[in-house]
Amino acid sequence: MTAVQASDAFVFFGATGDLAYKKIFPALQAMIRRGNFDLPVIGVAWSGWGLDQLRQRARASLEEHGGGVNAAAFDKLCGLLRYVDGDYRDPSTFDALKTQLAGATRPLHYLAIPPSMFPVVVKHLGASGCADGARVVVEKPFGRDLASAKALSATIHTVFDESAVFRIDHYLGKEAVQNLLVFRFANTFLEPIWNRNYVDSVQITMAEDFGVQGRGAFYDEAGAIRDVVQNHLMQIVGFLAMEPPATTYQEAIRDEQVKVFRQIRPLKPTNLVRGQFVGYRKEPGVAKDSSVETFAALRLEIDSWRWDGVPFFIRAGKSMPVTATEVVVDLKRPPLTRLARGSGNHLRLRLGPDLQIGLGVQVKIEGDAMVGAPTELLMVHQHACDEMSAYERLLGDAMAGDPTMFARQDAVEAAWAVIDGVLGDATPVLPYDVGTWGPDASVHMADAVGGWNNPVQSS
Ligand code: BG6
């Protein structure tokens, strides 16, 4: 096996755009500060800018999104930064890029551009020789449905082998999401109970207490299912439900994850409730008669030996009462119900904005009666402030050539296959008020397992 070689140049298309501003410059500064980044950084865009303007943009980005400008790191970044201005449809743009690459043999190309531009950029990267030995990073959305996801991959594969494609789902780069793997597979006590014999149901809630934040035009093309369920929340399901990646083979984790996606039954309209917050249609960029969902609640069933009969309830919504992403694994009740009122035990894994692990237990109520009452042991609570950003982590992995925490084509397609049948208007979109937990129909969806566990706002 040949050793994986690190990238020797970092190229980002869409250098003057939003993603570069919010995520890429901050990640670059953070990597430089950590002392593990020293290679040419080449921004490409078609804005009529020069290098000085890009440097100013980088400064503004760091001020707004990078926790402030670190003088030493910023100087270093400015020294590494180069800029190519040109039309993505014009081969001379790629000749200029080739010149800037100055002999780099393993560049990393980050396509921080709309997917509609991928075919033309990929084609020219190939024709100009800039793709030789290169890796490519692409951002979600990875297609709009199963068919377009396949077409997108086919386009990229005309030039890049799948092993050179790094699809970023930033949830995979989150500390708390990666911790799911460690927590599950590095703790002996969990394995005996982590299955249909002891688990009653699993819930995942991704609540955001804000609306579409000026992204109406983008969001109205997507909706909650495409925006966060098909990718972020499915990754969480994969980590919760997969079998142990029992070998050190580099693809073991991704192999196990895709197996889970393939075992999930295609979602039926009866297992989905879609909602739209009141006022969404007045957002700039949103169609006045939009039927796009800003909330989705669904029930997944996994046809596997481990999970048969255990429902996975998933909820994601904008304009909810709080901002929090949380998993609750409810365990079956113990046999002697006279000792315990209410439900059995649970494990609560909070994935954002902070990391918490709580264990729901029954403890004897003080006094004469021999009965317990539910309480929760908060086992771990880490605030997110020092967290390495998901983008920093993932860009570092991509440059090192480690694909483990990136979405592989087969997994992307398997995740689409689960929801493909309910996309669009397969179910009605029901209104809900801002600051509530979604339409009534969703509130009652989980009644059979004791109802939804609503996360509380972080203190
Ligand atoms: C993005 C979605 O991928 O994830 C947004 O497009 C969503 O709509 C965001 O708000 C949530 O990410 P995080 O890291 O804040 O939970």
SS (H, E, C) 280-340: HHHCCCCCCCCCCCCEEEEEECECCCCCCCCCEEEEEECCCCCCEEEEEEEECCCCCHHHE
Non-local CB neighbours of 250 within 8 Å, separated by 6+ positions: 402, 403, 404
Cite the active site residues.
Answer: 232
**Count of residues in the chain:** 459
How many angstroms separate the alpha carbon of residue 10 from the centre of ligand 1?
A: 25
φ and ψ of 169, to 5 deg = -120, 110
CB atoms within 10 A of CB 341: 12
Look up residue 225 and give its two tokens.
């299912």
| Closest CA relative to residue 225, chosen from 193, 256, 269, 177 | 269
Decide if 364 contacts 370 (C-beta within 8 A): yes
C-alpha to C-alpha distance for 205 and 329, rounded to whole angstroms: 12
Q: How far is the CA of 176 from the centre of ligand 1 (A)?
A: 15
Q: Kindly report the protein residue whose alpha carbon is nearest to atom 9 of ligand 1.
A: 228
pLDDT, position 248: 81
Q: How many whole angstroms separate alpha carbon 14 and alpha carbon 242? A: 36
Provide φ and ψ at 403, rounded to 5°: -90, 0
Return averaged pLDDT per consecutive 10 residues of the chain, 459 residues in all. Answer: 83 96 96 92 97 97 96 97 97 97 95 92 97 95 94 96 96 94 94 96 98 92 96 98 90 97 97 98 97 98 98 98 97 79 84 94 90 88 74 95 96 98 94 97 92 90
| Ligand 1 atom closest to residue 231's alpha carbon, by position in its atom list | 3
* Residue 386 confidence (pLDDT): 52
Ligand 1 contact, 85 CB (< 6 A):
no
Instruction: Give the tokens for residue 35.
Output: 């002392």
The widest CA-to-CA distance across the chain, in whole angstroms, is 85
Residue of 18, 167, 178, 208 to test ligand 1 pocket, by largest number of atoms within 8 Å of CB: 208
**Ligand 1 atom having least distance to the Cα of 208:** 10
> Using a 6 Å cutoff on CB, does residue 139 contact ligand 1?
no
Using the Cα atoms of residue 392, residue 394, residue 396 and residue 399 in order, give the sign of their dihedral.
Answer: negative
Determine the residue type at 455.
P
Q: How far apart are CA 437 and CA 319, in angstroms?
A: 9
Tokens of 104: 């780099």
pLDDT at residue 380, as a whole number: 84
